[in-house]
Amino acid sequence: MSNTSYNPYLTAQAQFDKVAEQLGLDEATRELLRQPMREYHFTIPVRMDDGTVRVFKGYRIQHNDARGPAKGGIRFHPDETADTVRALSMWMTWKCAVVDIPLGGGKGGIVCDPRILSEREQEQLCRGYVRQLARNIGPNNDVPAPDVMSSAKHMLWMLDEYETIHGGRYPGTITGKPVGQGGSLGRTEATGFGVIYVLREALKRLGIKPENTSASIQGFGNVAQYAARMYSQLGGKIIAISCWDNTDKKPYTFRKADGVDVDELVSITDAFGSINKEKAKELGYELLDGEAWIEQDVDILIPAALENQITSENVHKISKQVKIIAEAANGPTSTEADKVISDRGIFLIPDFLANAGGVTCSYFEQVQNNMNYYWDKDEVLSKLDRIMTAAFNSVYDLSVGRDLRMRDAAYTIAIERVVRAVKSRGWA
Ligand code: NAD
pLDDT at 5: 62
**pTM tops 0.85:** yes
- Domain boundary assignment for the chain: 37-182, 184-428
Q: Report the C-alpha gap between 347 and 61 in whole angstroms.
A: 32
The whole-number pLDDT of residue 223 equals 96
Query: What's the first-to-final CA gap in the chain, in angstroms?
Result: 33
Best residue for ligand 1 mutational test, from 99, 222, 311 (most atoms within 8 Å of Cβ): 222
pLDDT at residue 225 greater than cutoff 60: yes
Does residue 274's CB lie within 6 angstroms of at least one atom of ligand 1? yes
Q: Is the pLDDT of residue 27 over 90?
A: yes
Confidence label for 2 from pLDDT (cuts 50, 70 and 90): very low
CA distances, 356 to each of 25, 138, 195 (Å): 25, 21, 8
Position 6 scores a pLDDT of 78
Q: Which CATH architecture has domain 37-182?
A: 3-Layer(aba) Sandwich (3.40)
Distance (Å) from CA 326 to ligand 1 centroid? 14
Q: Is 251 in the pocket of ligand 1 (CB under 6 A)?
A: yes
For 303-318, letters b (16+ CB in 10 Å) and e give bbbbbbbbbeeebeeb
The residue-averaged pLDDT of 116-127 equals 98
Written as one letter, the residue type at 233 is Q
Judge if the beta carbon of residue 193 lies within 6 A of ligand 1.
no
Quick one: average pLDDT of 125-151? Answer: 96
CA of 398 to the centre of ligand 1 (A): 29
292-315 mean pLDDT: 96
Of the candidates 107, 177, 237, 256, the residue annotated as catalytic is 107
Burial class of 27 by CB neighbour count within 10 A (0 to 12, 13 to 18, 19+) = exposed
Percentage of the chain modeled with pLDDT above 70 = 99
**Nearest-5° Cα angle at 87, 84 to 85:** 40
Whether 93 contacts 65, CB under 8 Å: no
Task: Tell me if residue 107 is catalytic.
Answer: yes
Asked whether the domain spanning 184-428 has the same topology as the one spanning 37-182, the reply is yes
The residue whose CA has the least distance to atom 28 of ligand 1 is: 305
* Ligand 1 centre distance from Cα of residue 224 (Å): 7
Atom of ligand 1 nearest to the CA of 187: 40
CATH number (3.40.50.10490, 3.30.70.270, 3.40.50.720, 3.40.50.880) of 184-428 reads 3.40.50.720
**Which is nearest to 68 in space by CA: 299, 363, 327?**
363
Predicted pLDDT at 4 = 45
Q: Using pLDDT thresholds of 50, 70 and 90, give the confidence band for residue 200.
A: very high
